[in-house]
Amino acid sequence: MNPSLRERVTSWIDADPDEDDRATLRALLEAGDEEELERRFAAPLTFGTAGLRGPEMAGPAGMNRATVRRATQGVVAWLRESGLDLTHGVVVGRDARHGSERFNDEVVAVLLGAGVDVYEMPSPLPTPFVPYCVKALGAVAGIMITASHNPPLDNGFKLYAHDGAQIVPPDDELVERYSRWAGPATLADRAVAGHHVVPAATLAAYDAHMVARFGVTTSTLRVTYTPLHGVGGAVMMRLLHAAGYDHVTVVSPQFDPDGSFPTLPFPNPEEPGALDLAIAAATAAGSTLIIANDPDADRLGAAVRVDGAWVVLGGDQIGWLLASSLLTGIVERDEVVATSIVSSTLLAAMAKDAGARCATTLTGFKWISRAAGEGVLGFGYEEALGYAVDPLVADKDGLSSALALCALADQLSRHGHSLLDRLDELEGRFGVHATSHLSIRAEGRDGLASIRRAVEYLRTSAPTTLGTLRVTATVDLNTAGRDVPPTDGVLLELGDLGRVIVRPSGTEAKLKAYLEVTPPRDGSLNEQRVVAQRVGQAIRDDLAGLLRL
């Protein structure tokens, strides 16, 4: 075996606090399984999209107690350098994934051992409560143990700054550097004076605010809800009933938290088939609206039934709907709306028409949540089912956005209309904006490298046509001089008829392409949509051939 690899493995074993993980690595050493050890040691987890995310396994490339301990030590060192008053505490939360409770305990013990006060969630709860509590309690940071919508074997460590927003560069780089330098940690248990449980009154204040803002007079709307085996179930049902919805049914096989996600290959409302059980349950219950959260309840999926048929709404469509109900108040309060470069351009047109300021950011809520600068973000969204509908939470929130969508559906239904009618109204006014995406998962040890090669290929050998459309410009998003900071990706402009952006996923080993087709406004809306769908499919077919990993 490579002596350098053996030395790294033995050194890690000596410092690993988990007996089972030590035993796993020793067994691999004894078996001489160099390939598996390389997988666990060649590419350590690093702070990416506001934290760590990866498979739960022993070794520096996995989520385990050792990586969580080092990451938490990095957070402590970063906070000390920032000069913030650490007695204001760090909010710590977790979801119900396998390993989340164990990693949560590790975070709490390291923080308390370093003399940092802790405000710990009383139980596994939705991710949005962490950024909410950071602001509500005046904490210096927040840590959430979650892998959001990732596959069952993954877990993660999400970090929020003192403003309740996810950290951005250079803070993530500082935390990463301090994590690498971390030595033995001092641990403390919950008996020390600095440990606090997040007060029930603080969490109740979230409910009261969102219900007061988005609640309705007793509604006849029939809703079916699924948390996709996540932690949103009890909280979302409590909010819906308090907000005036008395005709809510649940998808029973998916209601209780279960980190194995037994009914789903991927616990993501975006995935094809993810809402199949919800559609069956909603049909049986006579519901007209389905709402779904991902496992940590920071995303919102939805489907609408009209004339007996179910239509699953896309991420952009939900964004347009929420914006249509919020823009008037946003203009009155002089707030800002924001979306990402890979989301639809329709929000900008809606904002301009309403007289609202609109910002476009890099992908991810760590950028969207800060888009207002010194102002207030009234609404932000990204096409991956992330929505911020209230400044109380400086991140995407699948709970409050569900209430906002239900309020709009209720308002429309009282006048004999549906959410699909509102979409017709918007596209009839601003033109059809057909958005879709192509996602290619990279498997194996060479997966990430193959993604980088595919993006580089587009930079240097961009196609002249996609589908039936001419590529009018190729833009390397990694170069400066645009309205957003450089980022790894390529923009292919299709004249006035749309655009494609190709970029690596920030949270998974995937290559993603985001399409928007804006057909000429000839014929009816349905005719325009048929044209856009046909063109979009041709573009996806071409891209799939170009981007083989």
What is the 3-state secondary structure of 523-547? CCHHHHHHHHHHHHHHHHHHHHHHC
Axis crossing angle, helix 419-430 with helix 346-354, rounded to the nearest 10: 80
Tokens 């979650």 belong to 146
pLDDT at 445: 63
**Which are the catalytic amino acids?**
148
CA–CA distance, 455 with 471 (Å, rounded to integer): 16
pLDDT digits (tens, 9 = 90+) for 69-92: 999 999 999 999 999 999 999 999
pLDDT digits (tens, 9 = 90+) for 462-507: 899 999 899 999 999 988 556 778 888 999 999 999 999 998 876 6
- The whole model's pTM is what? 0.95
pLDDT at 49: 67
DSSP E strands: which ranges in 86-169?
90-94, 118-120, 141-145, 154-160
Residues of the chain within CATH 3.40.120.10 domain(s) are: 43-198, 203-312, 315-430
Question: What is the topology classification, in CATH, of domain 315-430?
Answer: Alpha-D-Glucose-1,6-Bisphosphate; Chain A, domain 3 (3.40.120)
Q: Are the beta carbons of 511 and 454 closer than 8 angstroms? A: yes
Reported as type and span, the H/E element at residue 357 is strand 357-361
- How far, in Å, are 123, 158, 159, 439 from residue 68 at the CA level? 19, 11, 12, 29
pLDDT at 532: 96
The b/e string for 494-510 (b: 16+ C-beta within 10 A; e otherwise) is: beebbbbbbbbbbbbbb
Q: Which CATH class is domain 434-546?
A: alpha beta
% of the chain surpassing 90 pLDDT: 87
pLDDT at 290: 98
Phi, psi of 309 (to 5 degrees): -110, 145
Q: Are the beta carbons of 114 and 186 closer than 8 angstroms? A: yes
Closest by CA to 129, choosing from 167, 74, 368, 137, is 137
Closest by CA to 499, choosing from 345, 392, 382, 353, is 345
What region does 307 belong to: left with phi over 0, alpha with psi -120 to 50, or beta? left
Residue 356 Cα to chain centre, angstroms: 25
* Under-50 pLDDT residues of the chain: none
CA–CA distance, 81 with 79 (Å, rounded to integer): 5
Residue 516 Cα to chain centre, angstroms: 21
Tokens 């179930």 belong to 233
Q: Are the beta carbons of 68 and 159 closer than 8 angstroms? A: no
Token pair of 73 as six digits: 């030590």
Residue 325 sits at the vertex; the CA angle it makes with 320 and 331, to the nearest 5 degrees, is 100
What end-to-end distance do the CA atoms of the chain give, in Å?
A: 30
Question: What is the topology classification, in CATH, of domain 43-198?
Answer: Alpha-D-Glucose-1,6-Bisphosphate; Chain A, domain 3 (3.40.120)
Residues of the chain within CATH 3.30.310.50 domain(s) are: 434-546
pLDDT at 315: 97
pLDDT at 484: 78
DSSP 414: T
Closest by CA to 378, choosing from 365, 367, 388, is 388
CA–CA distance, 95 with 78 (Å, rounded to integer): 24
Tally the residues of the chain. Answer: 549
DSSP E strands: which ranges in 16-168?
51-55, 90-94, 118-120, 141-145, 154-160
CA–CA distance, 167 with 47 (Å, rounded to integer): 10
Q: List 473's β-bridge partners, or say none.
A: 493
Q: List 177's β-bridge partners, or say none.
A: none
Amino acid 409 reads: A
- How far, in Å, are 69, 288, 527 from residue 114 at the CA level? 12, 52, 63
Q: Which superfamily is assigned to 203-312 in CATH? A: Alpha-D-Glucose-1,6-Bisphosphate, subunit A, domain 3 (3.40.120.10)
